[in-house]
Amino acid sequence: MQNDLVSIILLPLTLAFIMFALGLGLALSDFKRIFTQPRALLVGAVCHFLLLPLACHLMLDWWGISGVFAVGFMILAACPTGSTSNLLTYLARGDVALALSFTAVASVLTIFTLPLIVTWALGHYLGAARAVDVPVGLMMGQVALVLGVPVSLGMLARQRWPAWARRFESRATRIATLLFLLIVVLAVLKNFALVRSHIVSLAPFALTLNLGMLAIGFGMAWLARLSRSQAITLGIETAVQNAALALVIASSVLKDDAMAIPGALYGVTMYVGGLLFALTMRRYAPAPACAAAPAMNN
C-alpha cells in the first residue's frame, strides 16, 4: 500500500511541484528566443533528442546492460533537460538565457518524443508484446499533463503576480530540490536489494553517460562554431536530465519500480559530472559583467 501511495500520489505530485517551480522562472520570451538563436537551439535539439538516446543505446549494448535497467536508462535519455541545468550554466559562466529557452522548448518537444522512444525501448529490450501494452497516445497525454499543466500554471502565476512569484521562486525551488532527493531515496529504498546487487555496474554507466554527453554537447556546439558560452550551455543541456520525470514514467505510468533505478542513480551522478564540468569551465571562462543567478530545481 505504501508503495502504491509513493508511485501513484507522491511521485506525480512531486514532479508537478518541480515543474510549477520551473514555470515560475520562465516567460513567453524564453519560447520566442528560438527565433533569435535558431542555430544554437537546433544544435541543442540534435544533441539532446537524437545523440543522447543513440549514445545511450550504443553504450547499453557495449556495457551489456539489458532488460528493465536498459529500458530505465532509455526512459532517462528520453526525458527533457532538468532545470538544474540553469544553475549549472550560471556557475559555468554559460549562456543562461539560452539555457532557459532550451529548457522551455525541450519540455514541449518531449511530449511527442518521449512516448516514441520509450515504446521502442520496451519492444527492443523486453519484447514486442510489452511495447504493444503501452498506448503511445495515452502516454503522450500523460506526459503533456505532468509537464505542461504545472509549467503553464507557474508561468501564469509569474505573469499575474510577479512580485509574489519572485519572492516564492527561490523557496519553491529549494523545496523542489528536497522533494526530488526524497523520491530518489524512496526509489532506492523500495528496491534496495536490486540496487545493492547492480550498483557496481549501473552507477559507473550513469556517470560515464553523463560525462560523455557533456563532452558531446560541448563538442557539437564547438563544431557548429557557436560561442564558448553557448557551447558550455549546450554541453550541460545535453547531459542534465529531468530525472524526476523518469521516475514518474517508470513507477507511475509503466508501473515497474525496477525501471526507476537508473533514473534515481543518474539523478545523483549527474550532479557529480555537471559540477565538475561547470567548475572546470568557470575556471577558464571570463566573468560576465552582470548576471543574476537562476533558481535551482530538478
pLDDT (tens digit per residue) in 49-72: 999 999 999 999 999 998 999 999
In a domain, 23, yes or no: yes
In a domain, 65, yes or no: yes
The total of structural domains in the chain comes to 1
Question: Which residue range is the domain that position 269 belongs to?
Answer: 2-284
Q: What is the CATH number of the domain that holds 63?
A: 1.20.1530.20
In angstroms, rounded to a whole number, what is the distance separating the alpha carbons of residues 152 and 156?
A: 6
**Which residues are 81's β-sheet partners?**
241
In a domain, 297, yes or no: no
In a domain, 181, yes or no: yes
- Residue 2: predicted pLDDT: 46
118-172 confidence digits (pLDDT tens)? 989 998 898 765 655 666 677 777 788 878 888 888 888 888 888 888 888 778 8
Residue 107 and residue 155 in contact, taking contact as beta carbons nearer than 8 Å = no
**Which residues are 241's β-sheet partners?**
81
Residue 99 and residue 237 in contact, taking contact as beta carbons nearer than 8 Å = yes
How many Cβ atoms are within 10 Å of 254's Cβ, its own excluded?
A: 21
In a domain, 100, yes or no: yes
231-262 confidence digits (pLDDT tens)? 999 999 999 998 888 888 888 788 888 888 89
* pTM score, whole prediction: 0.84
In a domain, 15, yes or no: yes
Instruction: Pick 41 or 31 by higher pLDDT.
Output: 41
In a domain, 50, yes or no: yes
Residue 237 and residue 45 in contact, taking contact as beta carbons nearer than 8 Å = no
In a domain, 64, yes or no: yes
33: which DSSP letter?
G
